[in-house]
Structure 1
Amino acid sequence: MSIQSAAVHLAEHLREKEYVEVYGHHDADGIAAASIMVHALIREDVQVRLRILPRISPGDISSGNATVLCDFGSGIPDLPDEVMVIDHHIPTFEGAFHVNPRLEGIDGEQELSASGAAYIVAQHLGDNRDLAGLALLGMIGDRQSIKGQNQDIVNEGMANNFITPGNGIPLFGRDLKEQLYTALNPMLHGIAGEEGTVESLISSYTIRNETDIGNLLSDVILKISPYHNADSMLSLWGDTWHLERGAVKDAHSLAGIVEGCGKSGKGILGAALCLRSPVYLDDAWETARAYRLRIIEATRQAHPLPDNPLIYEIADADAVSGVADAVSFDGLLNHPVAVMAPRGDSYSVSARSPQGAGKDLAAILSDLAGTCGGTGGGHYSRGGAKIPRDKIDCFTSGFLEVCA
């Protein structure tokens, strides 16, 4: 079965429903995917209830209602068979309604996100080409490449004037100061979170209200070069995307807002923007800004465990994913790392494997977490786990042994 066939199968099943509960993972990809499905279903006169959650389990699902899971669910083998899943994580779910690029030989790591898969389903529910910009949010949020199926979606969005490409600084922010001050992808070492430094930098290259962006970025690259890899530095200038139908027109900013709201426990606020409501836009901007500054501060405080250079411990469990991105993908490390923080009677863990490290984190986290009494999984280069507090030494020693 091709991904188009799987999408048709799911779309036909959804069209028969009067009411559907849509659940989305709490990051940019999950919220965008769920929002795409809400748009498409409402246009077909299907009543919808939307929920955004950090994780999903069979017990979270309301029995008796048609349910679609977006950006999670593939890795849960014991979901009820009637649940519908749109995801791009490594699949173990075997239900009849499962749209996942990995099932069709498509690279779910780089070439199709959950929001991209949701967009394909939406096209078989009706004419939803205007939702291509939402699929782009998932690509940006999950650091995917614009190639393969992703490229097809972006091309369709451009052909229909819903997405306009450009060049510039592809960072979250309402102005240059905010872009540098809250920079997370990459996190600019010694600049992000340093308001005085950012103001001084901009002032040094501004004459009569005109800022010399080229020389300013050259200076930024010189300042961060001891701490960042080449890809990280080169990413400070590149492709930008204007979203004709977006509540925020800049795709990188909207992806950052949606991600920040979701990770701050305000996923419905991010979804409201994806559903094109500008009512709470100011609140959403400030929520995302605060989240990014929180990640920057947590990253500053992060240091490897004394006896384990692969694992960092921080205090803020809601920051583990963002810190893992910052210390792994943007730095000079050539080995996997994990960031962990206590949450109640367990530890939240987020792990990353830089390009070329050659470690399958989805398999490692699934196997190791299972051995240590927890749960884990994800993608080849990024994943997460939940480990009981009294078993965390089992996890840390096992991660060092497998990934060193």
Structure 2
Amino acid sequence: MSVESAAVHLAEHLREKEYVEIYGHHDADGIAAASIMVHALIREDIQVRLRILPRIYPHDISSGNATVLCDFGSGFSDLSDDVMVIDHHIPRFEGEFHVNPRLEGVDGENELSASGAAYTVAQHIGDNRDLAGLALLGMIGDRQLIQGPNQDIVNEGIANNFLSPGKGIPLFGRDLNEQLFTALNPMLHGISGEEETVRSLIESYTVRNETDIGHLLSDVILKISPYQNADSMVSLWGDTWHLERGAVKDAHSLAGIVDGCGKSGKGVLGAALCLRSHEYLDDAWETARAYRLRVIAAARNAQPLKDNPFLYEIADADAISGVADAFSFDGLLNHPVAVMAPQDDFYSVSARCPQGAEKDLAAILSNLATECGGSGGGHYSRGGARIPREKVECFTAGFREACA
């Protein structure tokens, strides 16, 4: 079966429903995927209920209702067979209604996200080509490549005038100051979160309200070059995307807003923007800005665990994924890294593998978390776990051994 065939099978099943409960993971990909499904089903007069969560367990799912899980669910082998899953994580779910590129030999790590899989399902529910921009949010949020099935979706969006490509600074922000001050992808060493440094930089290259972007970026690259890898520096200029139907027209900004809202516990606010509501746009911008500054502050204050170069601890559990991204994807590390933070009776963990560090984090986190009485999983190069506080030393020792 192909991804397309699995999508057709799921779409036909959904079209028979009168009411569907949709759960989305709380990052940009999960919220975009869930929002795509909300759009597609409402257009067919199917009632929906949407919930955005940081994680899900089988007991969270309402019994007796048609349920779709977006960007999580694949990792469970004990879900009810009638649950529907749209995901791109390592698959263990064996239910009949499961759309996941990995099941069909497609690269779910880089070439099709959950939102891309949801877009494929939506096309077989009705004409939903205008949702290509939402699929793009997942690609940006999960740092995927515009190739393979992702390229097909983007091409369709361009061909139908829903996406317009351009060149520029592909960073979140309403202006250049905010782009540099809140930069997370990449996080700019010595610049992100430094208000006076950003103001001075921009003023140095601005004459009569015109900023020389080329020379400004050259200076930024010189300042960060001792601390950041080539990929992060090159990414400061590149492809940008204008969303013709977006509540926010710049795709990188909208992806950042949706992700920041989700990880701040306001996932429905992010989803509202994906559903093209402008009512709470200012609140969404400010929520995302505040989240990004929290991540930057957490990264600055992260403490390496004694004798364990693979692990860092921070105080803010909501910031662990952003800090892990910054350390592994933007810095000079050549080994896996995990960032952890206390949260209630658990430690939350987010782990990443920088390019060239070949470790299967999905397997490591799943196996190690199970050994330590928790849960974990994810992708080959990125994943997460929750570990009981009393078992945290079991996890840290095991992670060091697995990644050495």
Distance 1:49 1:368 in 2: 35
Name the SS of the counterpart of 2:373 in structure 1.
Answer: coil
Equivalence map 1:208-287=2 (5 Å): 208-287=208-287
CA shift, 1:303, in A, is: 2.7
Letter of the 1:162 partner, please give it. F
Distance 2:191 2:350 in 1: 25
Letter of the 1:389 partner, please give it. R
CA shift, 1:38, in A, is: 0.2
CA shift, 1:79, in A, is: 0.7
CA shift, 1:183, in A, is: 0.1
Name the SS of the counterpart of 2:158 in structure 1.
Answer: helix
- Residues 172-213 of structure 1 deviation map (CA, whole Å, 9 limit, x = unaligned): 000000000000000001001010000000000000000000
Name the SS of the counterpart of 1:166 in structure 2.
Answer: strand
Distance 2:218 2:302 in 1: 27
Name the SS of the counterpart of 2:217 in structure 1.
Answer: helix
CA shift, 1:59, in A, is: 1.0
- Residues 366-402 of structure 1 deviation map (CA, whole Å, 9 limit, x = unaligned): 0111111110000000000000111110110111111
Equivalence map 1:284-299=2 (5 Å): 284-299=284-299
Letter of the 2:342 partner, please give it. P
Distance 2:317 2:207 in 1: 43
- Residues 64-108 of structure 1 deviation map (CA, whole Å, 9 limit, x = unaligned): 000000000000111111000000000000000000000000000
Which residue of structure 1 aligns with residue 98 of structure 2?
98
Distance 2:351 2:303 in 1: 15
Structure 2 unmatched ranges of 5 or more: none
Which residue of structure 2 aligns with residue 139 of structure 1?
139
- Residues 247-301 of structure 1 deviation map (CA, whole Å, 9 limit, x = unaligned): 0000000000000000000000000000000000000000000000000000000
Q: Does 2:111 align with 1:111?
A: yes
Question: Which runs of structure 1 show a deviation greater than 2 angstroms over 4 or more consecutive aligned residues?
Answer: none
Letter of the 1:125 partner, please give it. I
Letter of the 2:320 partner, please give it. V
Letter of the 1:265 partner, please give it. G
Which residue of structure 2 aligns with residue 176 of structure 1?
176
Which residue of structure 2 aligns with residue 364 of structure 1?
364
Letter of the 2:181 partner, please give it. Y
Q: Does 2:4 align with 1:4?
A: yes
Letter of the 1:290 partner, please give it. A
Letter of the 2:130 partner, please give it. D
Q: Does 2:65 align with 1:65?
A: yes
Which residue of structure 2 aligns with residue 15 of structure 1?
15
Equivalence map 1:157-168=2 (5 Å): 157-168=157-168
Distance 2:132 2:157 in 1: 5
Alpha-carbon RMSD across the aligned residues, in angstroms, is 0.4
Name the SS of the counterpart of 1:329 in structure 2.
Answer: helix
Using the aligned pairs only, state the percent identity: 84
Equivalence map 1:370-385=2 (5 Å): 370-385=370-385
CA shift, 1:307, in A, is: 1.1
Name the SS of the counterpart of 1:342 in structure 2.
Answer: strand
Which residue of structure 1 aligns with residue 318 of structure 2?
318
- Residues 86-136 of structure 1 deviation map (CA, whole Å, 9 limit, x = unaligned): 000000000000000000000000000000000000000010000000000
- Residues 316-375 of structure 1 deviation map (CA, whole Å, 9 limit, x = unaligned): 111111110011110000100000011111100000001110100000000111111110
Distance 1:234 1:355 in 2: 15
Distance 2:252 2:361 in 1: 27
Name the SS of the counterpart of 1:286 in structure 2.
Answer: helix
Distance 2:200 2:222 in 1: 15
Structure 1 unmatched ranges of 5 or more: none
Letter of the 1:390 partner, please give it. E
* TM-score for both structures, normalised by structure 1: 1.00
Name the SS of the counterpart of 1:350 in structure 2.
Answer: strand
Distance 2:283 2:353 in 1: 34
- Residues 118-165 of structure 1 deviation map (CA, whole Å, 9 limit, x = unaligned): 000000001000000000000000000000000000000000000000
Q: Does 2:71 align with 1:75?
A: no
